[in-house]
Chain A
């Protein structure tokens, strides 16, 4: 492996130094607008609280001891090193972190890992592998359902769950008649996938990929 150059090392130190001074600047700016907190309370509030949790990820039981603040997303990526699931906005707006928990798609960034004791989590790694792709993964490749690929794991997890939701008769905003089983139209797919943002704009190809899989006999 190539050793980092002196320039890179000093650049890194410079960035760390800058980040620190920015943080101090922000703290003193905030202090002017808020009631100062006693130092001891601030220190206690910053001390991490740890908790244990055990859940099944892609068929394997995983036990973790975590800072309670750890989201399911960070537990998957940083602790279990399942980096297929992506962190986009980290605020539930983009859908890049979508995984399937107990058969339902959720945003893994907006849920705490410790709240998932005993749950079954499926990530993109659990759907398929490069050698044995899930049909939805293969369809995304075939239809060019991505460009940069960052949103793709979330898109695919969401798409797999969307087809189950339609099969289960769950209506959507564009379903004409609430009392009739929803049909798998392009409008239905687009509405149901609206929580997965693709900045490259591969939407039409994503819709084609999902449509192909949906059209196959179960």
Chain B
């Protein structure tokens, strides 16, 4: 690990301005992804700003009937919150499908959204990777690509976003609140937070320099049946090959978002119009334009079948 200086931030504005004032600074909260990457020298900040003292650790009702989740709320606390379990079961289920108990005790809401890909070529510093070292190339393309993206990828990067929680947030149409170094704040729809790789896979979100996530807000509950189904190589404690998060209403309409297949949580609103017609119709629209590799073409069938299982489960 490279050496770094360390400070504790005492206000969001101070944290954001420290991040732009100090060169090569990063925020740290749970640290479960950042420290892993720092040990491998994939992340090499020279200054860490500890934001754990900023008090964003509450889950509060909003005037609109939703919930505002502090950026520092731990994954365990969010999954266990009574209101989340009752009204946003999809979110609880997605959180509980991710990582392990001791990691969820540390990992935060904002950190979960900002975690980086687990592409093995990104992790192997002996390999070229446009995400880790822009312009160096992509060793995954032409490599072993069973885990990689089947849609929305580019000639520069075929990595996937690893978060389970983000799939639920996308289906729920969450919004992300931030504080910026100039003292202003803004709301970002979750659909606009993560980027597709294009020619700049090292730019993973639309956050500006020093911009700090302060909370994530859920709109009022949608009702319906909430299902999160994750298909992985082990029964527990593994990243998804494919995951499907869905909210299904009695009349068969609803929402669906898919994980494990793209550089961001994958949701196609137009595909949801097909939900009453079944999984095959939805999957066809959802995966329109997919470009799988020989190693991961199984994911197309797996999405359809997982979705079929989810819709069957939702019918009860």
Contact = CB atoms under 8 A, between A and B. Distances in A.
A93 to B, nearest CB: 9
Given A45-B46, A49-B6, A114-B6, A90 B106 contact: no
A170 B237 contact: no
Interface string B79-102: 110000110010011001101111
Interface residues of A, number: 48
Interface stretch (B31-39, B61-69, B196-204): B31-39
B76 interface: yes
A69 B105 contact: no
A178 B28 contact: no
A87 B36 CA distance: 14
B101 A115 contact: no
Interface string A174-198: 0100110000000000111111100
Contact of B3 (A49, A161, A190, A191): A49
A115 B7 CA distance: 10
Contact of B35 (A34, A111, A170): A111
Interface string A93-122: 001001000001111001110110000000
A165 B32 contact: no
B3 A92 contact: no
A172 interface: yes
Contacts of B102: 95, 98, 105-107, 158, 161, 195
A104 B105 contact: yes
B133 interface: yes
Interface string A77-99: 00000000000001110010010
Contacts of B86: 178-179
Contact of A171 (B50, B92, B125): B92
Residue from B2, B79, B93, B103 having most chain A Cβ neighbours under 10 A = B103
B3 A46 contact: yes
A47 B3 contact: yes
A110 B106 contact: yes
B85 A179 contact: yes
B185 interface: no
Residue of A29, A172, A175 with most partner-chain B CB within 10 A = A172
B136 A33 contact: yes
Contacts of A71: 35
Contacts of B235: 191, 194
A202 to B, nearest CB: 17
A51 interface: yes
A110 B2 contact: no
A194 B6 CA distance: 33
A168 B82 CA distance: 12
B236 interface: yes
A47 to B, nearest CB: 6
A149 interface: no
Contacts of B4: 49, 68-69
A178 B97 contact: no
A71 B1 CA distance: 11
B31 A111 contact: yes
Interface string B39-54: 1000010101010100
Contacts of B96: 171-173, 175
B103 A46 contact: no
A125 interface: no
B5 interface: yes
A194 B100 contact: yes
A107 B92 contact: no
B106 A107 contact: yes
A78 B126 CA distance: 30
A208 interface: no
B252 interface: no
Given A47-B3, A111-B106, A172-B96, A158 B101 contact: yes
A33 B124 CA distance: 13
B207 to A, nearest CB: 22
A196 B96 CA distance: 16
24 contacts: A45-B3, A47-B3, A48-B3, A68-B6, A68-B48, A69-B3, A91-B36, A92-B36, A92-B103, A95-B102, A105-B102, A106-B106, A110-B31, A111-B31, A111-B106, A112-B6, A112-B48, A115-B31, A161-B101, A165-B76, A179-B86, A194-B100, A194-B236, A195-B100
Interface of B: 1-6, 28, 31-32, 35-36, 39, 44, 46, 48, 50, 52, 76, 79-80, 85-86, 89, 92-93, 96-97, 99-103, 105-106, 125-126, 128, 133, 136, 234-237
A-B pairs, 10 with minimum CB distance: A195-B100, A194-B236, A194-B237, A178-B85, A170-B80, A104-B105, A173-B96, A68-B6, A49-B5, A105-B102
Given A92-B103, A165-B76, 11 more contacts: A45-B44, A90-B39, A92-B36, A105-B105, A106-B102, A106-B106, A115-B28, A171-B96, A173-B96, A178-B85, A195-B103
